[in-house]
Amino acid sequence: MKVSKNELTAALKKSFEGLGFSYGDYLDAAAMVTWSEMTGLDGLQTLERALPFIDAGNSQSPALGYRYADSNNPHPVLDAKGASSLLCGSRIVDLACSLARKNHSVMLRVDNCRNRLFALERLSNAGQRGLVAAMGWFKEGCFSWATIGAGQQYPALKQFVCAPIETPLHQSLWLFCSTAEKDCWELMSAALPELANANKSEQREPQTLQQAYADSLEQGIAMPVPLWEKFDLLTARVLVESTESSRAGAGE
Protein backbone atom coordinates (compact mmCIF):
# COMPACT_ATOMS: atom_id res chain seq x y z
CA MET A 1 0.00 0.00 0.00
CA LYS A 2 1.03 3.59 -0.54
CA VAL A 3 0.37 6.55 1.69
CA SER A 4 0.87 10.25 1.23
CA LYS A 5 3.30 12.42 3.14
CA ASN A 6 0.49 14.13 5.00
CA GLU A 7 -1.17 10.84 5.82
CA LEU A 8 2.04 9.31 7.10
CA THR A 9 2.86 12.38 9.18
CA ALA A 10 -0.64 12.41 10.69
CA ALA A 11 -0.49 8.68 11.47
CA LEU A 12 2.93 9.07 13.05
CA LYS A 13 1.87 12.03 15.17
CA LYS A 14 -1.03 10.07 16.61
CA SER A 15 1.09 6.93 17.03
CA PHE A 16 3.79 8.79 18.93
CA GLU A 17 1.12 10.49 20.98
CA GLY A 18 -0.27 7.02 21.68
CA LEU A 19 3.18 5.94 22.80
CA GLY A 20 3.18 8.77 25.32
CA PHE A 21 5.27 11.41 23.55
CA SER A 22 4.46 14.95 24.62
CA TYR A 23 3.05 17.58 22.19
CA GLY A 24 6.26 19.00 20.73
CA ASP A 25 7.99 15.63 20.76
CA TYR A 26 5.39 13.86 18.65
CA LEU A 27 5.37 16.64 16.07
CA ASP A 28 9.16 16.50 15.76
CA ALA A 29 9.32 12.71 15.76
CA ALA A 30 6.70 12.44 13.01
CA ALA A 31 8.61 14.94 10.87
CA MET A 32 11.89 13.07 11.41
CA VAL A 33 10.52 9.67 10.42
CA THR A 34 8.60 10.98 7.41
CA TRP A 35 11.60 12.89 6.09
CA SER A 36 13.93 9.94 6.59
CA GLU A 37 11.59 7.66 4.68
CA MET A 38 10.88 10.10 1.87
CA THR A 39 14.55 10.84 1.27
CA GLY A 40 15.26 7.12 0.87
CA LEU A 41 16.95 6.62 4.24
CA ASP A 42 14.62 3.84 5.41
CA GLY A 43 13.03 5.78 8.22
CA LEU A 44 10.12 3.37 8.53
CA GLN A 45 12.39 0.35 8.83
CA THR A 46 14.43 2.11 11.50
CA LEU A 47 11.26 3.06 13.33
CA GLU A 48 9.89 -0.48 13.17
CA ARG A 49 13.01 -1.76 14.87
CA ALA A 50 12.87 1.03 17.46
CA LEU A 51 9.21 0.73 18.41
CA PRO A 52 9.46 -2.17 20.91
CA PHE A 53 12.14 -0.31 22.87
CA ILE A 54 10.26 2.99 22.83
CA ASP A 55 7.05 1.25 23.83
CA ALA A 56 8.77 -0.36 26.79
CA GLY A 57 8.60 2.77 28.90
CA ASN A 58 11.05 4.87 26.91
CA SER A 59 8.77 7.50 25.44
CA GLN A 60 9.55 10.46 27.67
CA SER A 61 12.17 13.07 26.82
CA PRO A 62 14.91 12.90 29.43
CA ALA A 63 16.24 16.08 30.95
CA LEU A 64 19.72 16.59 29.52
CA GLY A 65 22.81 18.33 30.76
CA TYR A 66 26.27 18.64 29.38
CA ARG A 67 29.80 18.62 30.64
CA TYR A 68 33.24 19.14 29.17
CA ALA A 69 35.36 16.01 28.81
CA ASP A 70 38.32 17.77 30.39
CA SER A 71 39.62 21.25 30.90
CA ASN A 72 41.58 21.14 27.65
CA ASN A 73 38.66 20.01 25.60
CA PRO A 74 36.29 22.79 24.56
CA HIS A 75 33.69 20.39 23.15
CA PRO A 76 30.63 19.69 25.29
CA VAL A 77 29.52 16.11 25.89
CA LEU A 78 25.91 15.16 26.59
CA ASP A 79 24.46 11.96 27.90
CA ALA A 80 21.18 11.11 26.12
CA LYS A 81 20.55 8.42 28.74
CA GLY A 82 19.63 5.85 26.15
CA ALA A 83 16.88 7.93 24.58
CA SER A 84 15.95 7.69 20.94
CA SER A 85 16.98 10.70 18.89
CA LEU A 86 13.26 10.96 18.14
CA LEU A 87 13.01 12.31 21.68
CA CYS A 88 16.24 14.21 22.09
CA GLY A 89 17.43 14.97 18.54
CA SER A 90 15.66 18.31 18.34
CA ARG A 91 17.09 19.63 21.55
CA ILE A 92 20.59 18.44 20.77
CA VAL A 93 20.56 20.22 17.44
CA ASP A 94 18.95 23.25 19.13
CA LEU A 95 21.86 23.35 21.56
CA ALA A 96 24.43 22.96 18.80
CA CYS A 97 22.81 25.79 16.82
CA SER A 98 22.66 28.04 19.85
CA LEU A 99 26.29 27.45 20.79
CA ALA A 100 27.38 27.91 17.18
CA ARG A 101 25.58 31.24 16.92
CA LYS A 102 27.35 32.42 20.05
CA ASN A 103 30.81 30.93 19.48
CA HIS A 104 30.82 30.70 15.67
CA SER A 105 31.28 26.95 15.77
CA VAL A 106 30.76 24.02 18.06
CA MET A 107 31.39 20.31 18.19
CA LEU A 108 29.11 18.26 20.44
CA ARG A 109 29.30 14.63 21.39
CA VAL A 110 26.12 12.92 22.49
CA ASP A 111 26.56 9.59 24.22
CA ASN A 112 23.97 6.84 24.73
CA CYS A 113 21.75 7.98 21.93
CA ARG A 114 19.59 5.58 19.92
CA ASN A 115 18.18 5.79 16.39
CA ARG A 116 20.66 8.51 15.52
CA LEU A 117 19.71 8.52 11.85
CA PHE A 118 16.56 10.47 12.69
CA ALA A 119 18.51 13.48 13.93
CA LEU A 120 19.54 14.06 10.32
CA GLU A 121 16.24 15.77 9.58
CA ARG A 122 16.92 18.20 12.41
CA LEU A 123 20.43 18.78 11.10
CA SER A 124 19.01 19.59 7.68
CA ASN A 125 16.79 22.11 9.39
CA ALA A 126 19.88 23.77 10.83
CA GLY A 127 21.34 23.96 7.33
CA GLN A 128 18.16 25.48 6.01
CA ARG A 129 18.39 28.09 8.75
CA GLY A 130 21.80 29.23 7.57
CA LEU A 131 24.29 27.13 9.49
CA VAL A 132 26.97 24.79 8.22
CA ALA A 133 26.32 21.49 9.96
CA ALA A 134 27.56 17.92 10.06
CA MET A 135 26.96 14.80 12.08
CA GLY A 136 28.57 11.40 12.33
CA TRP A 137 27.91 8.09 14.05
CA PHE A 138 29.14 4.53 14.12
CA LYS A 139 26.97 1.59 13.32
CA GLU A 140 27.80 -2.00 12.44
CA GLY A 141 31.39 -1.48 11.32
CA CYS A 142 30.60 1.70 9.43
CA PHE A 143 30.92 5.35 10.20
CA SER A 144 28.16 7.49 8.69
CA TRP A 145 28.93 11.11 7.97
CA ALA A 146 26.41 13.74 6.85
CA THR A 147 27.10 17.35 5.94
CA ILE A 148 24.92 20.23 4.89
CA GLY A 149 25.91 23.69 3.75
CA ALA A 150 24.34 26.94 4.91
CA GLY A 151 21.05 27.51 3.13
CA GLN A 152 20.98 24.03 1.59
CA GLN A 153 17.86 21.87 1.68
CA TYR A 154 19.39 18.38 1.75
CA PRO A 155 22.60 16.92 3.22
CA ALA A 156 25.27 14.80 1.55
CA LEU A 157 25.90 11.39 3.10
CA LYS A 158 29.02 9.26 3.16
CA GLN A 159 29.76 5.92 4.76
CA PHE A 160 33.15 4.62 5.74
CA VAL A 161 34.11 1.07 6.56
CA CYS A 162 36.15 1.03 9.74
CA ALA A 163 37.19 -1.12 12.62
CA PRO A 164 34.66 -1.58 15.44
CA ILE A 165 34.70 1.33 17.85
CA GLU A 166 35.26 1.10 21.57
CA THR A 167 32.07 0.37 23.49
CA PRO A 168 31.33 3.73 25.16
CA LEU A 169 31.29 5.49 21.83
CA HIS A 170 29.41 3.03 19.67
CA GLN A 171 26.12 4.73 20.61
CA SER A 172 27.53 8.24 20.30
CA LEU A 173 26.66 10.98 17.88
CA TRP A 174 29.00 13.80 16.88
CA LEU A 175 27.48 17.07 15.82
CA PHE A 176 29.14 20.12 14.29
CA CYS A 177 27.59 23.47 13.68
CA SER A 178 29.23 26.57 12.39
CA THR A 179 28.28 29.99 11.18
CA ALA A 180 30.99 29.82 8.49
CA GLU A 181 32.35 27.23 6.10
CA LYS A 182 34.56 24.87 8.05
CA ASP A 183 36.29 21.60 7.41
CA CYS A 184 34.21 19.56 9.80
CA TRP A 185 35.81 16.32 8.63
CA GLU A 186 39.17 17.55 9.79
CA LEU A 187 37.72 18.25 13.22
CA MET A 188 36.04 14.86 13.25
CA SER A 189 39.23 13.05 12.27
CA ALA A 190 41.09 14.92 14.96
CA ALA A 191 38.53 13.80 17.51
CA LEU A 192 38.58 10.21 16.30
CA PRO A 193 42.01 9.25 14.93
CA GLU A 194 40.72 5.78 13.96
CA LEU A 195 38.84 7.42 11.09
CA ALA A 196 42.08 8.38 9.39
CA ASN A 197 42.34 4.94 7.78
CA ALA A 198 38.64 4.44 7.07
CA ASN A 199 37.63 3.62 3.50
CA LYS A 200 34.67 5.31 1.91
CA SER A 201 32.10 2.71 0.89
CA GLU A 202 29.07 4.70 -0.12
CA GLN A 203 28.13 8.23 -1.00
CA ARG A 204 24.78 9.93 -1.54
CA GLU A 205 24.63 13.39 -2.95
CA PRO A 206 22.00 15.91 -1.82
CA GLN A 207 20.38 15.61 -5.24
CA THR A 208 19.75 11.91 -4.62
CA LEU A 209 17.87 12.66 -1.42
CA GLN A 210 16.00 15.49 -3.08
CA GLN A 211 14.92 13.27 -5.97
CA ALA A 212 13.79 10.51 -3.61
CA TYR A 213 11.73 13.08 -1.71
CA ALA A 214 10.15 14.40 -4.91
CA ASP A 215 9.35 10.87 -6.10
CA SER A 216 7.69 10.04 -2.78
CA LEU A 217 5.59 13.16 -3.04
CA GLU A 218 4.56 12.38 -6.60
CA GLN A 219 3.92 8.65 -6.28
CA GLY A 220 3.19 8.16 -2.60
CA ILE A 221 5.23 6.36 0.05
CA ALA A 222 5.35 2.56 0.16
CA MET A 223 3.96 1.47 3.51
CA PRO A 224 4.23 -2.07 4.91
CA VAL A 225 0.72 -3.07 5.94
CA PRO A 226 1.76 -4.65 9.27
CA LEU A 227 3.45 -1.41 10.30
CA TRP A 228 0.39 0.59 9.24
CA GLU A 229 -1.72 -1.71 11.39
CA LYS A 230 0.68 -1.16 14.24
CA PHE A 231 0.15 2.58 13.83
CA ASP A 232 -3.60 1.98 14.07
CA LEU A 233 -3.13 0.14 17.33
CA LEU A 234 -0.97 2.93 18.76
CA THR A 235 -3.42 5.56 17.56
CA ALA A 236 -6.25 3.74 19.31
CA ARG A 237 -4.59 4.65 22.60
CA VAL A 238 -5.44 8.32 22.10
CA LEU A 239 -9.03 7.70 21.06
CA VAL A 240 -11.87 7.87 23.52
CA GLU A 241 -14.66 5.35 23.77
CA SER A 242 -17.84 6.45 22.06
CA THR A 243 -20.94 6.56 24.22
CA GLU A 244 -24.39 8.08 23.91
CA SER A 245 -23.20 10.90 26.11
CA SER A 246 -20.07 11.47 24.02
CA ARG A 247 -22.13 11.73 20.85
CA ALA A 248 -23.74 14.76 22.42
CA GLY A 249 -20.27 16.24 22.39
CA ALA A 250 -20.38 16.19 18.62
CA GLY A 251 -23.67 18.01 18.48
CA GLU A 252 -26.04 15.08 18.12
Partner 1 sequence: MTTATLSVMPASTIDGQQGLPMRPADVVMQLDRLGSFHQFRLSFMRTLMRRMITEKWQIEAPVFDLDSNGYGTVVYEVQAKYSRYSFVLFSHYLDDSLRNDRVIADQWDLTMALCEGSVDQEQLEHLRANVPLQEAGRVDSRVFVLSRANRSARNFNYVVDQLAQGSQPDVNKIAEVGYLYRTTAAYGSGKLGMADWDKVRGKHRDFSRPFAAEMFTCFMLRHFSLQQADFIARQRAPDTAVVLDDQIKRYFGIGNSTGLGMAPFLINHPQLINQWVEVRETALATVLVEGQVTDEALDNLQCTAKRVIQHLDEIVTDDALQRQSNQCVHDQLQQVVLPWLKEYGASLSSWTQLTEHAQANWRVETQELINSLLIELYPQLVDRLEEQMDIVERYDLVPEMPLVELRNSIERAYDWALKIDFSQPQEQGVFWYRSEEKMEPRLGQTNIDIGEERQMPLAIGRSVRECYDAICAYLAEYPNDDIAHFLLRQPEFRGIICRIQTMANCRYGEIRENLVHKAVLPMHLLRCKLSFFGVSKFDPRSRLWVRNTMFQGAPLISDFSSPIANQLADGWQFPVKPTN
Binding site for partner 1 (CB under 8 A): 1-7, 22-25, 27-28, 61-66, 87-88, 90-91, 94-95, 97-99, 101-102, 125, 129, 217-220, 235-243, 245-247, 249-252
Which residue number, 70 or 252, has a Cβ lying nearer to partner 1? Answer: 252
Residue 52 or 251: the one with the smaller Cβ distance to partner 1 is: 251
Residue 90 or 172: which CB sits closer to partner 1?
A: 90
Phi, psi (degrees; rounded to nearest 5) at 154: -130, 150
What 3-state DSSP class applies to 32?
A: helix
96 CB neighbour count, 10 Å cutoff = 27
Please compute Rg for the chain using Cα positions: 19
Q: How far is the CB of 159 from partner 1 (least distance, A)?
A: 29
Give per-residue burial for 97-130: e unless 16+ CB within 10 Å, then b. Answer: bebbeeeebbbbbbbbbbbbbbbbbbbbbbbeee
Which CB atom, from 14 or from 158, has the smaller least distance to partner 1?
14
Tell me the β-bridge partners of 180.
Answer: none
Instruction: Encode burial over 202-234: b for 16+ CB neighbours within 10 A, e otherwise.
Output: eebebeebeebbeebeeeebebeeebeebbeeb
How far apart are CB 110 and partner 1 at their closest, in Å?
12
How far is it, in rounded angstroms, from Cα 82 to Cα 111? 8
Cβ at position 23, least distance to partner 1 in Å: 4
How far apart are CB 62 and partner 1 at their closest, in Å?
8
Q: Name which of 73 and 98 has its Cβ closer to partner 1.
A: 98
Q: CB 157 → partner 1: shortest distance, Å?
A: 23
CB of 68 or CB of 200, closer to partner 1:
68
Is residue 84 within 8 Å of residue 114, measured between CB atoms?
yes
> Which CB atom, from 73 or from 242, has the smaller least distance to partner 1?
242
Distance CA 32, CA 29 (A): 5
Could you give the CA distance from residue 139 to residue 35 in angstroms, rounded to a whole number?
20
CB of 118 vs partner 1, minimal distance in Å: 15
CB of 95 to partner 1, least distance (A): 5
CB burial of residue 142 (10 Å; 0-12, 13-18, 19+): middle
